[in-house]
Amino acid sequence: MTSELFSVLDVLPYGVVITTRQGEENYRNQFAADLFSHIDVSLVTDEMRRLASVSYPESELVLPGPPERTIAIRLYSLGDCNALFLFEDVSEARRLDRVRSDFIANLSHELRTPVGAITILAEAINETNDSESHTRLGRRILKEALRLGDSIEGLLHLSWLESGQAQRFADVDVHKLFSLAVDSTVEIAKKHRVQIAIACPAGIKIEGDEKQLVSALINLIDNAVKYSDPGSQVAVKASELAADLVEMTVSDTGVGIPEEDIDRVFERFYRVDAARSRKTGGTGLGLSIVRHVVSNHKGMISVTSEPGVETTFKIVLPRTV
């Protein structure tokens, strides 16, 4: 029974360490052993010592990375003068907390900025009788209202994608998806003087929601164009990875994404450079929409970038959902 108990402790997704009251370690399970082999153990042992002397023996320890990890530690007293320390890796939960609170802060900012601008512009209209100023201010109000409308549309689109409602899965031709997406981005490509090159063998088909997949590709191509220099080229490619997988990539040779931002660009409203994105006119929701579309199709999305050299977004989709 004892060995079974140890086996059970070893498969737990928690670290378990048992010490004497004096702090001498008697046991550590597999999770704790793995954890301790990857971190500065003195940070943890100091914290364990501290917990043994406080009345509320629970804390979180942020261990420097990379990757940074947050470990929750709790001390339980065992009747026979021993102490049990329970360790839980709460890094992902804390990351999600941060994403959520950043989202609320960004959302408030996104909505408040145009509303604030519209209020000031409307007040300015009220204070002048000059018709030329009315036209100029009216145009700016329209621009801000359109921006607000885009953010709200983007949010509604996201929540519609999240709800998974009204998905229409059917056989779709990847070449057709590319053509539809490129048709919708021709104007912006012309404006930025960027060429879009498609490379897609005929006959690749996947099961998917055409409207969603086209909107994902439009977002990726639109970004590739927006963040590229005039005269450059955006490449949109598809290939069959295996009998049951299709890969689609959108590459550009523009500004790129710094390493420290790359994991966060799929978050709602996350922008590498807010001022630049405002100038290029994005809502900050495009990549979140893409990620949701990909996840609705049980696919994977990834991005690699070397700033100033090349950025590639890669989507891998199963042929059948």
Q: Residue 137 in contact with residue 124, Cβ under 8 Å? A: yes
**Site size toward ligand ADP, by CB under 6 A:** 23
Interface segment toward ligand ADP; rule CB under 6 A; list 14-22, 87-95, 181-189, 252-260: 252-260
**Nearest by Cα to 16 from 43, 34, 40:** 34
Among 185, 215, 249, 277, binds ligand ADP (CB under 6 A): 277
Does 286 bind ligand ADP (CB under 6 A)? Our answer is yes
Does 181 bind ligand ADP (CB under 6 A)? Our answer is no
Bridge partners, 311 (sequence order): 252, 305
Among 212, 256, 292, 294, binds ligand ADP (CB under 6 A): 256
Does 265 bind ligand ADP (CB under 6 A)? Our answer is yes
Among 32, 73, 252, 253, binds ligand ADP (CB under 6 A): 252
**Nearest by Cα to 207 from 248, 162, 168:** 168
Using DSSP's 3-state secondary structure scheme, residue 139 falls into helix
Q: Residue 27 in contact with residue 17, Cβ under 8 Å? A: yes
Using DSSP's 3-state secondary structure scheme, residue 305 falls into strand
Q: Least distance to ligand ADP from the beta carbon of 305, Å?
A: 7
Residue with tokens 């079974």: 4
Distance CA 258, CA 255 (A): 9
Distance CA 14, CA 10 (A): 9
Q: Least distance to ligand ADP from the beta carbon of 277, Å?
A: 4
Does 212 bind ligand ADP (CB under 6 A)? Our answer is no
Does 311 bind ligand ADP (CB under 6 A)? Our answer is yes
Does 287 bind ligand ADP (CB under 6 A)? Our answer is yes
Query: Interface residues with ligand ADP (CB under 6 A)?
Result: 219, 223-224, 227, 252, 254-257, 265, 270-273, 277, 282-288, 311
